[in-house]
Amino acid sequence: MANNTLNRYLFEELSVRGELVQLDTAYQEILSSKDYPAPLQTLLGELLVSTSLLTATLKFEGSITMQLQGDGPVSLAVINGDHNQQLRGVARWEGDIADDASIHDMMGKGYLVITITPDKGERYQGVVGLEGNNLPEILEGYFERSEQLKTRLWIRTGEHEGKQHAAGMLLQVMPDGTGSPEDFEHLEQLTNTVKDEELFGLGANELLYRLYNQDKVQLFEPKEVEFHCSCSRERSAAAIVTVAQEEIFDILAHEGQVALHCDYCGTTYAFDEPEVKALFADAQSENKTVH
Ligand SMILES: [Zn+2]
């Protein structure tokens, strides 16, 4: 049975919040799209888990893109996820990658771009250097600098009962500043004891009980996580009309169609001249009714 879930919880007395994400088929689907080398599979799993954990912190409807870029054998690894926990992602690499390659071996001189895009409102972008031994450490540094909130992440990927799993946990002090460093450390130490097979195989209730049975945990409704590309013909059409009309007709004149390609899932949406004309006509009549 597939288990792709995100759980959020609260240690109210300790002013610390937590998250647990456990992915099996959602992770397996992203791996199945290309023949990724093993360390890149791990990196994608870590990105997938982190994006899920981060989107769960969104206080509005929107999406987060976590994009690793570098001049190493892996030029790009990107995951995009939204408030509905629909995630998609892809990576590009060239040549051989050793089985024991670290994030630095793969990315070379690189950085992590975190883009938060609300459905309504300004987008926010943060650029983080790759300071740390792995993605969780890099993100912990990001949280400390950007949000000034003590945050710890535990992310594991690997095989469990013959199938690939990716899972992770997050602890973060509540922004109201009522938590004590000792309480956070206490929860950190308990979480440090989590084993891969527990993260991959146990349900949230059982796992939280095993780790924190002396502390009061309030567990919220779980959310289902899904590997799903949110691209569509409608979205592509909406993107076309945001471009200057003459630019679009220039493309039409040269190529006979306007084609938008989704890098995440490989789908191409093509529009011919009558379709493009209709799109711009619709957009204009909509503008008239608005103003
Ligand atoms: Zn797509």
- C-alpha 233 to ligand 1 mean position (Å): 10
Closest by Cα among 15, 76, 14, 9 to 47: 76
Domain containing 183 — which CATH number?
3.55.30.10
Ligand 1 centroid to residue 144 C-alpha, Å: 33
Q: Tell whether 256 and 202 lie within a shared domain.
A: no
Distance 96 CA to ligand 1 centre (A): 27
Residue 268 sits in which domain range?
A: 233-289
Same domain (yes/no): 183, 66: yes
User: 253 alpha carbon to ligand 1 midpoint, in Å?
Assistant: 26
What's the structural domain count of the chain? 2
Q: CB–CB of 50/134 below 8 Å?
A: no
Q: Are 271 and 130 in the same domain? A: no
Percent of the residues in the chain that have a pLDDT greater than 90, as a whole number? 83
Q: Judge residue 113's burial from the number of C-beta atoms within 10 Å of its C-beta, 0-12 exposed, 13-18 middle, 19 or more buried.
A: middle
Q: Assess whether pLDDT exceeds 90 at residue 136.
A: yes
Give the angle subtended at the CA of 112 by the CAs of 106 and 113, to the nearest 5°: 140
* Residue that terminates a domain, selected from 184, 205, 227: 227
The per-residue pLDDT for range 38-69, each reduced to its tens digit, is 999 999 999 999 999 999 988 889 999 999 99
For residues 216-223, average pLDDT: 95
Q: How far is the CA of 282 from the centre of ligand 1 (A)?
A: 24
- Whole-number Å distance, alpha carbon 232 to ligand 1 midpoint, is 7
Burial zone of 50 (CB within 10 Å; 0-12 exposed, 13-18 middle, 19+ buried): buried
Structure tokens at 179: 């938590």
Q: What is the CATH number of the domain that holds 254?
A: 3.90.1280.10
Cβ-based neighbour number of residue 220 at 10 Å: 13
Gap between the Cα atoms of 214 and 113, Å rounded: 38
Mean pLDDT of all residues belonging to the chain = 93
CA distance to 83, 254, 269, 274, 275, per residue, from 257 (Å): 34, 8, 10, 10, 9
Shared domain for 137 and 246, answered yes or no, is: no
Cβ contact 44:85 at 8 Å = no
**Residues 159-187, mean pLDDT to the nearest whole number:** 94
Are both 147 and 245 inside the same structural domain? no
For the stretch 84-117, pLDDT in tens is 999 999 999 999 999 999 999 999 999 999 999 9
Q: How confident is the model at residue 289 (pLDDT cuts 50, 70, 90)?
A: low
- Residue range 272-291: average pLDDT? 83
The phi and psi torsions of 264 (rounded to 5 degrees) equal: -70, -45
Distance 263 CA to ligand 1 centre (A): 7
CA–centroid distance, residue 40 to ligand 1 (Å)? 21
Q: Are 179 and 151 in contact (CB under 8 A)?
A: no
**187 membership: H or E segment, kind and range:** helix 181-192
Q: Are residues 131 and 270 in the same domain?
A: no
252 lies in the same domain as 188 = no
- Residue 121 sits in the same domain as residue 164: yes
- 63 with 200, same domain? yes
In sequence order, which residues have a C-beta less than 8 Å from that of residue 25 and are 6 or more positions away? 2, 4, 227
Domain ends where: 227, 260, 281?
227
Backbone angles phi, psi at 200, to 5 degrees: -80, -30
User: Do residues 256 and 209 both lie within one domain?
Assistant: no
Distance 83 CA to ligand 1 centre (A): 17
The structure's pTM equals 0.88
Asked whether 52 and 22 are in contact (CB, 8 A), the reply is: no
| CA 103–ligand 1 middle distance (angstroms) | 26
Same structural domain for residues 123 and 247?
no
CA of 219 to the centre of ligand 1 (A): 33
pLDDT at 288: 63
| Last residue within a domain, chosen from 227, 247, 271 | 227
Name residue 155's beta-bridge partners.
168
**Does 77 share its domain with 155?**
yes
pLDDT digits over 253-273, tens only? 999 999 999 988 889 999 999
Residue 269 CA to ligand 1 center (angstroms) comes to 10
Distance CA 151, CA 184 (A): 9
Question: Which one, of 211, 206, 215, lies nearest residue 14 by Cα?
Answer: 215
